[in-house]
Structure 1
Amino acid sequence: MRRTPAMLLALAMAGAGMTGLVPSAAAAGQSVIPDSHPRWASPNAKVGNADAASKLTFRVYLKLADQAGLEAAATAVSDPTSPSYRKFLSTDQVRTRFAPTAGAVSAVRNWLTSAGFAAGEVPANNAYVEATGTVDQVQKAFGVTLGEYRVQGKTLRSQDRALSVPAAVASYVSGVINIDQATALLKPSHVGAAGDATPDAVQPKAKTSQPAVAPPPAAFVNARPCSDYYGQQVDTTDPAYAGKQLPYAVCGYTPPQLRAASQLDIAGRFGLDGHGVTVAIVDAFASPTLYADAAEYAKRHDPAHPLTRSQYSEIVFPPTPGSEDPDQCDASGWYGEQSLDVEAVHAMAPGAKILYVGGADCSDEGLDKALNTIVSKNLAQIVSNSYGNNGEDVPADEVQAFQSIAIQAAAEGIGVYFSSGDDGDESHDLGHPSADFSATSPWVTAVGGTSLGIGKDGRKVLETGWATGKSTLTNGAWNPPAPGAWLYGSGGGTSVLFPEPNYQKGVVPDALAKQNQTGNNRGRVVPDISMDGDPTTGMLIGITQTWPDGSVKYGEYRIGGTSLASPLMAGLMAVADQFGGRHGFINPWLYKALSHTPAVTDVKPVDGGSVRVDYVNGIDATDGYVRSVRSYNDPDQTIHTTRGYDNVTGLGTPNGLLFLGLI
């Protein structure tokens, strides 16, 4: 299952129950793969059988030859108290000592080909064997029946029970990804564009038969008044909100403003701009105008720091046979995510190289493969990932596959950053509190979001945790009254998949580590650190869009989400890597060395908010305006911004030059 960008442009799709082993007896000589059957694929949801002749591509993930050894090595190079700290392993060392063996690859590959599949790619680290075949071949090889199931208004393919493999290869197999279509339950959702105005502002999406050539997303235009910097314009014409006349939302921060807020403008005077560092960005698909849009944006808003062709490169995988169709994956919806990621990294680290890696689809078949490509070849020092699941209802084999990639990244000194999510504690979508995977992995740095006010001089004048309530001006009054109705906010909470990592012990409060747990268990808490994420205080981006008259052209609008926070943090770390050398997985250092120093600024609760003005149709004033207040620190969830570590902002935010000097 997977993935949705952590911004909101349309309504986020709530994940269905997607794990849970359906009891079934494996055929003679077969071994069951635990947790490899989606719970939603129940008999009463079945509407038909899958087409036996249709083809699909899947991956058989292999168990590491020495899982414990790789974890120990990754821990040692990441722990500031270890003599091996920052003595990272090469890809050859990882492959030789810990990766699945050639014998394991050969055994699984031979079984797949003997079952009639066309065996495909085996990556450099032997993580998996890719294969393509028909539904009929899958049913026979894995001892299942594939059917079509009705779930959340969609008809999706799934197996009717847990997958099984021959006992002879079972000891090599950790999981099988992409036989079911669980990923279609999640779609891109971005904060700050049309879907964040009013329902009427959402224009129909263009249809396409190929994700690789999906048209640009529907156009959106920021309405005015809005401010060039925080507090520039105050709304004095509308009623006071909780007794205060609030400032208008910013029109969208530009690269010089974002650098200044983190004191990277000062660092830049000394040549610290990320030069010599490569930041990789992983998303689904690839906008055909991604580089051109980012280059145009830099030309308009940061002309002293153009994005040159030599700084930018791409690896884009072709669409996966048998994967979700583009309407389910919303290929166009990922384009805004991609532009934000590239433009935000370049904003913070204008001298760094950017490697964009576009997955073949929005599933594990696409996104984990993209991430593994970077890690298996050590193509970057830093990887930003602005997507995630809604909650942690994730099959165990998917978790294991991801963990193997993340641990190898840590061993090689690759810092992997994930957005913590945009739905707060997820209780409004899932009906219960939950943190989001993959941000909950103890081997990645989860980046939460703040509401950030950047003043006229480029310095921070306000910062608090991002948790937005919304009140709309109706008949001369704000409805509902302060603090408004829950809208969105920084993802966070306590994992039920992962226990508390050693680096969080003694820093994360007991009350947070014990949330969502049973007995005396303690869980991994996210996020770890935060950057600007609130779309009301978001970044202006440039992207080619589809306009109502059918024309396709470049336009700009404000956007946000932890999809902004993650690439901002990645860009900041590119400058840190240039200054202090490769840092790799930074969590142990963050918690053990920086958590009680001025290098990280504690984020505290602040009252207030901003007034936002939107066009009803998302484009112009033809149909009028909608005025709303976006308040800070909405209380309608179980996670809250507090003094000290909290589950909205983590340890806090990097404190400019002090952070660079001490990280």
Structure 2
Amino acid sequence: MTLYLFIFSVVTPALISVANTGTLVHETLSTRLPSFKETNLSGNTPVIASIYIPLRNLNLLYYYAEQVSNPGSPLYHKFLSPSQVKNLFYPSAEFSSVMNYLASHHVHVMFTAADSVIVVQGTASQLSQVLGIHYVLMSNGTTYYYTAMGTPKVPGIVISSNVSALFFSHPSTLFTQSDVNKLRETVNQPNLTAPIEAYKLTELRGVYNVSSLISKGVNGTNYTVGILDFYGDPYIQQQLAYFDKIYNVPAPPNFSIIPIGPYDPNLGITQGWAGEISLDVESAHAMAPGANIVLYIANGNLPLSSVIAEIVSQDKVDTLSQSFSIPDEFIPEFSGSLFYQCVVLTDQYYAMGNAEGITFLASSGDGGGSGYSAGPLGSVGYPASSPFVTAMGGTTTYITFGGFSFNVTAWSNYGFVPPGVNYGGSTGGISQVEPKPYYQWGLTTPKGFPNGKEIPDISANADVYPGIYIVCPGNVTAISGGTSEASPLTAGLLTLVMQYTHSKLGNINPDLYYLAKADYQKAFYPITFGYNIPWVASYGYNLVTGWGQLNVGEFASLVKDVPSSLSIMVNVSNTTILPGQTLGVKANVTLNGQAVNSGSFYVTLETVSGNVTTVKLNDEGSGIWSASLGVPENDTGITFVTVWGESNGTSGYGIVETYSGYFVQFLFPAPYQVCWTGSGINVVVNVTSPSGGIAPNTTVLNLNVYSYNVTNNSFTLVNQTSLTFNPVFNAWSGMIQGNFPAGPLLLQVVNAYGYDAIFNGIGLNSFFILSPTIAEPGTVYPGQDIIIEGGLTPPTNLVSSAPRTASDLMTGSNVTAELLYNGQVISKTQVLYTGTTYLGYLRVPENASPGLYTILLFASYDSYTLNETIPGFYYGQIYVGSRVVTPLNFSNTYVIQGSTLYIYSNITANGKVVKYGMFSATVFPTLLTQEYSLISTVLEVPLWYNSTSGLWTGNVTLPSTLSLGNLTYLGNSYFAEPFKVLVTGVSAYGGVTSTNVSNSREFFVEPYTLITNDPSYTAVQTYDSAFQNDTLTVNGNLVNDLFLGNNTIINSHVTITLSNVTGTLILRNTQATLVNVLANKLVLINSTVRLIDSQVQDLVALSSVVSPIQTRITSITPGPPIIQLGIAPYQNITGNVTISITVQGQDVEQVLVYLDGQLLASFQGNGTHEVNLDTLKYADGTHEISVTANQADGLNSTVTTNVVFENQLQSVSQKVSNLNETLTQGISTAHSTANVGEIVAIVALILAIVGIALDFRRR
């Protein structure tokens, strides 16, 4: 069981206040970013202002937000209705008063939200007069924004600045193939490959264990996915329809686009948000095809708090995906009032949304553990760091086909810390803004790091190695990813859980952390491999993937089975405090409505600095527990007032968010700036309250300086200094000077809330550290080289004080790299300047063990002008794994142009089959072998593991004279030549291939152009073509062609020469001449065909005429007629004889009988015909009888035989006289003659049959 705290006091937004005090006055302070200078703003400039009226009953709001989302609470999932929220928390009376005031001054109200946010639009002059503020324009020479200052005439907080447009001008967590291409173009080295591939979004359903739910109709029906993006996409509805069509996904029941503020969707194309919107909408819809979709498009000039307030007050959605992040590194640039409205006020509206049942999700970022900051602090961002939002990290998902299976690892880094771009894998780390919420108290904070919220909470697919296919504007398919994908994926998946449980979910974070403790392996897919620099994935919670991947199918059932617990209501006297104040806390503890008077309960003030104080509560009876505590001097920034304790073994928590102390804005140095303490860094800051009030100029700030050491992942205090008010700057300033360690420095204010992260010394943060196989995870094998390439950045303060030195060190510094493992340097190299860049190769020793290795980069420049050595330092990490072997086979070694070549590889590592990973093939002409690295950046053919065959399989369409196929990089050239294929990539757990071209295999392209599967070709290439399953109309010549499959020529007059029919060629209604043709099968329909010097295996003739000339035909269907003569060859005949002729054939039209070439008789049809022959009319001797039978299809047969006419009689007397003496001899001679005649007849018959085969022809 769990105790819960009910916070019911009314909170005012003043920095110092007592509950139930009168109206407070807030200062509007201009938002001044470093490097921006103030100029005048024209009074006619259109501006937007947001007026915030404090919500009522904030303690009660936080109570409901926590109770309805906490497993075991009696209020668990008993969400508030919009009317209840309005009655409890909306400041409706104050809201009406302000609205009346604005109406009386004719101010245009763009929209209102929660009766507490009023967004107005007007000119700078108009709003200055009405609101009592003054506008200025801030510029750094290329970028502009407006901001306002002054004491507002209306109650509440007034924020008027479009500085948020700088943070939302481009998607911050979107990772696409274009990002990959930029990296490829930047690193242009030999022997590199850049494998990449993608799959359908719908394939991920099986990965999250929801395929069975969707098949049963659990698809998000009756629930709504909300998506928050900026600017817009004018084509998103058409894109989603096309996405649904090509991937067989039903359209959503309802898809609405709701603008917040001015709506100009075409700007989404130029600002890059259209691609983000495509990814968000399609990802959510693919996971929840039955859910409604509401796409909120916010104007980039609006504060985030006003946008969230509008969404919450509409209460139209059940989940809200937010694919953006404001890194903590940007926060030092904020003014106090900007921080307050961006974080503190937005947290209040997130809490209100939780109370209504809305689940908020936000992308953690794509910069890994250090990519958006100087060091590992500052990369995580808001809103992912909010305790009321689920932070979504990134995974890499590998899928097999031919029997679905999958494997998931962390989305890892390339090997280098990306310089503020989306290269770095899943962003994770410790928040410097939001303290660790109570549900994370069981997590261990890394030593030396803040006590902030640990990010992410969970993770989902994000990598582009492999990525997913999305449909972008213009219905163009592209590869995409990033934690921008993880957030909408999960937002869609959670609507399935809602449908299954018949309930909204609200803030799922308490559920996640409860289930992680109660049933981790069932609720989650643990992630045990991956890194994001400096954090490493491991079983359980980690700062790369959080708890890992959610098993949504199991989560849907587990979330329904949570035990009940206690309820506690807590009252605090103030929710905005200053160090030194006294804070009163009361708690009412009950169990099923009964007071709890036993146990131990405490109140803790928790900030990012840790537990700054804990006081035990006293039992006052009747379930009331109370305490009074002093706010410590180090209580600064957002503070969670957490009441916790136990009674009879049951623990409980309650939380109220407050703000304590002053806010410090760093004007110099700017975050992420390169400076050098050896020349002295002048630190300039502004100090205000969150409501805009300037701190007393007597305030002295204590500043600690920490150096980060990647070898032990820790911060070390290296300097302390003071910042005092400087009237020259009208701000606080101080100096940091000394020879402090080079590399990341953290500047931390002790007695106010403020921090800054910079690079000390020569900047090495733009260096690339890469494997020859450019992919994630960045992996090399023993014996391979790590590529190190980049440029140096001179310290900013050196550029102004010693410009020549700053310039020279960019090309004249000594740069070295070291490979570190288990604290030992195992390899080192020089990184030399090549004239355009620094380049070096760091060898991995042959005996290196598998594991994560750290790369240390050092730079030094000896300046005789300054008489000092200027140092530089930075780092990276890369995985050393096993070598992966990729033997190749092809569907054919000899292929034709335009055909599809299938590629097969039995990929192994250490003798074991690799089933999971990302591998692709580079296909290039042998003549371009030297350019294969460049070609790899243009085209990669994806390979997928087929569980049935046990092989990695891919296919490529080869170029031809008609189309370049997949090899578009070739342009117009000759394609009949040898080609090579090289397979490269990474396995799921850190194996990597060689990129040496010697591992490629060759195939050969024949000089034929494939023309395939077109049913209506009328204009074709008449030579060197390979027709496959085509229907052709040709009037002319076809020369040197191949006919593959089943082809048809219709309505044509064509001559086909020197060609090969390997399949079936059908000639229909065609006159054709085939010369030197080898044909497997010809089918003739109503056609006339001459065959010259050809060979035909199988001929089928239907209502056609065939004329073979010197042609061999093995089989004919139907065959020629069969003729049988009723007379033996060379038979002696005399007088009148009747000769029978039997004819059998297909529709025999005419039977012609000739004697010695003269027509003797004619008949029609099949059957036996008789011919009467009077031999007396002819001379004795040998005569030729010939019979020709003609069929209607043009086939005919001719049978010829010879007979002997004998009509001269010897006298009877002569015969009688000689009869006795010659009888025996005559009989013998007669027998002998008969035998010879029989032999001659047989030979003649055989010759006649051969004659039939060779001489039949069509008329």
Q: Is the 8 A contact 2:167 2:326 kept in 1?
A: no
What are the superposed Cα offsets for residues 380-430 of structure 1, whole Å, 9 maximum, x if unpaired? 111111112132615112223311221111101111111111122354455
Partners of 1:426 and 1:240 in 2: how far apart? Answer: 25
Provide the residue aligned with 1:132 in structure 2: 121
Structure 1, unpaired ranges of 5+: 1-20, 22-28, 203-237, 472-479, 545-552, 607-631
Partners of 2:70 and 2:229 in 1: how far apart? Answer: 29
Q: Does 1:510 align with 2:448?
A: no
Partners of 1:280 and 1:486 in 2: how far apart? Answer: 24
Q: Which has the higher contact order (CA 8 A, sep 6+)?
A: 1
Change in 2 beyond 3 A, CA 1:49/1:279? same
Aligned alpha-carbon RMSD (Å): 3.2
Q: What are the residue-to-residue correspondences of 1:528-539 with 2, within 5 Å?
A: 528-539=457-468
Q: What are the residue-to-residue correspondences of 1:183-332 with 2, within 5 Å?
A: 183-189=165-171, 190-198=174-182, 248-250=195-197, 252-301=198-247, 303=248, 305-308=249-252, 310-317=253-260, 319=262, 331-332=270-271
- SS of residue matched to 2:84: helix
Q: What are the residue-to-residue correspondences of 1:341-380 with 2, within 5 Å?
A: 341-359=280-298, 361-365=299-303, 368-380=305-317
Partners of 1:580 and 1:114 in 2: how far apart? Answer: 50
Provide the residue aligned with 1:231 in structure 2: none
- Partner letter of residue 300 of structure 2? C
Partners of 2:309 and 2:131 in 1: how far apart? Answer: 25
Change in 2 beyond 3 A, CA 1:255/1:583? same
Task: Please report how far the alpha carbon of residue 130 of structure 1 lies from its aligned counterpart in structure 2 after TM superposition.
Answer: 2.0
Partners of 1:499 and 1:470 in 2: how far apart? Answer: 30
Change in 2 beyond 3 A, CA 1:191/1:458? farther
Q: What are the residue-to-residue correspondences of 1:487-636 with 2, within 5 Å?
A: 487-506=423-442, 508-511=443-446, 515=449, 517=450, 522-544=451-473, 553-581=474-502, 582-595=504-517, 596-601=519-524, 603-606=526-529, 633-634=531-532
Match of 2:60 among 69, 72, 80: 69
Change in 2 beyond 3 A, CA 1:105/1:199? same
Change in 2 beyond 3 A, CA 1:139/1:425? farther
Computing the radius of gyration from Cα coordinates, the structure with the larger value is 2
- SS of residue matched to 1:468: coil
- SS of residue matched to 1:296: helix
Q: Is the 8 A contact 1:388 1:437 kept in 2?
A: yes
Partners of 1:288 and 1:486 in 2: how far apart? Answer: 25
Task: Please report how far the alpha carbon of residue 345 of structure 1 lies from its aligned counterpart in structure 2 after TM superposition.
Answer: 0.9
- SS of residue matched to 1:410: helix
Partners of 1:153 and 1:468 in 2: how far apart? Answer: 32
What are the superposed Cα offsets for residues 255-297 of structure 1, whole Å, 9 maximum, x if unpaired? 3311111122122222221122111111113322111111111
- Partner letter of residue 364 of structure 1? L
Q: Counting strand residues as a fraction of each chain, which structure ranks higher? A: 2
Partners of 2:347 and 2:525 in 1: how far apart? Answer: 30
Provide the residue aligned with 1:79 in structure 2: 70
Change in 2 beyond 3 A, CA 1:363/1:149? closer
Q: Is the 8 A contact 1:489 1:534 kept in 2?
A: yes
- Partner letter of residue 490 of structure 2? M
Provide the residue aligned with 2:139 in structure 1: 150
What are the superposed Cα offsets for residues 556-585 of structure 1, whole Å, 9 maximum, x if unpaired? 011001110001111110111111122221
Q: Is the 8 A contact 2:395 2:461 kept in 1?
A: yes
Task: Please report how far the alpha carbon of residue 347 of structure 1 lies from its aligned counterpart in structure 2 after TM superposition.
Answer: 0.9
Task: Please report how far the alpha carbon of residue 152 of structure 1 lies from its aligned counterpart in structure 2 after TM superposition.
Answer: 7.7
Task: Please report how far the alpha carbon of residue 186 of structure 1 lies from its aligned counterpart in structure 2 after TM superposition.
Answer: 4.4
Task: Please report how far the alpha carbon of residue 358 of structure 1 lies from its aligned counterpart in structure 2 after TM superposition.
Answer: 1.4
Partners of 2:427 and 2:44 in 1: how far apart? Answer: 42
Provide the residue aligned with 1:415 in structure 2: 359
Provide the residue aligned with 1:453 in structure 2: 398
Percent of paired sites with the same residue: 28
Q: Does 1:388 align with 2:325?
A: yes
- Partner letter of residue 466 of structure 2? T
Q: Counting helix residues as a fraction of each chain, which structure ranks higher? A: 1
Change in 2 beyond 3 A, CA 1:122/1:149? closer
Q: Does 1:643 align with 2:539?
A: yes
Q: Is the 8 A contact 1:41 1:149 kept in 2?
A: no
What are the superposed Cα offsets for residues 290-324 of structure 1, whole Å, 9 maximum, x if unpaired? 111111112112x1x3215x432221346279xxx
Change in 2 beyond 3 A, CA 1:458/1:416? farther
Provide the residue aligned with 1:657 in structure 2: 553
- SS of residue matched to 2:152: strand
Provide the residue aligned with 1:25 in structure 2: none
Partners of 1:287 and 1:486 in 2: how far apart? Answer: 22
Task: Please report how far the alpha carbon of residue 87 of structure 1 lies from its aligned counterpart in structure 2 after TM superposition.
Answer: 0.7
Provide the residue aligned with 1:118 in structure 2: 108
Partners of 1:510 and 1:429 in 2: how far apart? Answer: 19
Partners of 2:66 and 2:394 in 1: how far apart? Answer: 27
Task: Please report how far the alpha carbon of residue 32 of structure 1 lies from its aligned counterpart in structure 2 after TM superposition.
Answer: 3.5
Task: Please report how far the alpha carbon of residue 180 of structure 1 lies from its aligned counterpart in structure 2 after TM superposition.
Answer: 4.2
Provide the residue aligned with 2:49 in structure 1: 58
Provide the residue aligned with 2:605 in structure 1: none
Partners of 1:198 and 1:511 in 2: how far apart? Answer: 34
Partners of 1:81 and 1:456 in 2: how far apart? Answer: 42
Structure 2, unpaired ranges of 5+: 1-14, 16-22, 560-1259
- SS of residue matched to 2:465: helix
Task: Please report how far the alpha carbon of residue 330 of structure 1 lies from its aligned counterpart in structure 2 after TM superposition.
Answer: 6.8
Partners of 2:537 and 2:376 in 1: how far apart? Answer: 19
Partners of 2:293 and 2:520 in 1: how far apart? Answer: 31
Partners of 1:128 and 1:61 in 2: how far apart? Answer: 5
Match of 2:152 among 153, 160, 165: 165
Change in 2 beyond 3 A, CA 1:524/1:429? closer
Q: Is the 8 A contact 1:285 1:331 kept in 2?
A: no
Partners of 2:514 and 2:436 in 1: how far apart? Answer: 14
Task: Please report how far the alpha carbon of residue 95 of structure 1 lies from its aligned counterpart in structure 2 after TM superposition.
Answer: 0.4
Change in 2 beyond 3 A, CA 1:72/1:185? closer
Q: Is the 8 A contact 2:386 2:434 kept in 1?
A: yes
Task: Please report how far the alpha carbon of residue 370 of structure 1 lies from its aligned counterpart in structure 2 after TM superposition.
Answer: 4.5
- Partner letter of residue 311 of structure 1? N
What are the superposed Cα offsets for residues 477-519 of structure 1, whole Å, 9 maximum, x if unpaired? xxx9xxxx9932222222222221111111x22327x72x3xx
TM-score (structure 2 length as normaliser): 0.39
Change in 2 beyond 3 A, CA 1:350/1:500? same
Structure 1 range deviating more: 264-273 or 80-89: 264-273
- Partner letter of residue 51 of structure 2? V
Q: Is the 8 A contact 1:119 1:129 kept in 2?
A: yes
Change in 2 beyond 3 A, CA 1:201/1:498? same
Q: Is the 8 A contact 2:531 2:544 kept in 1?
A: no
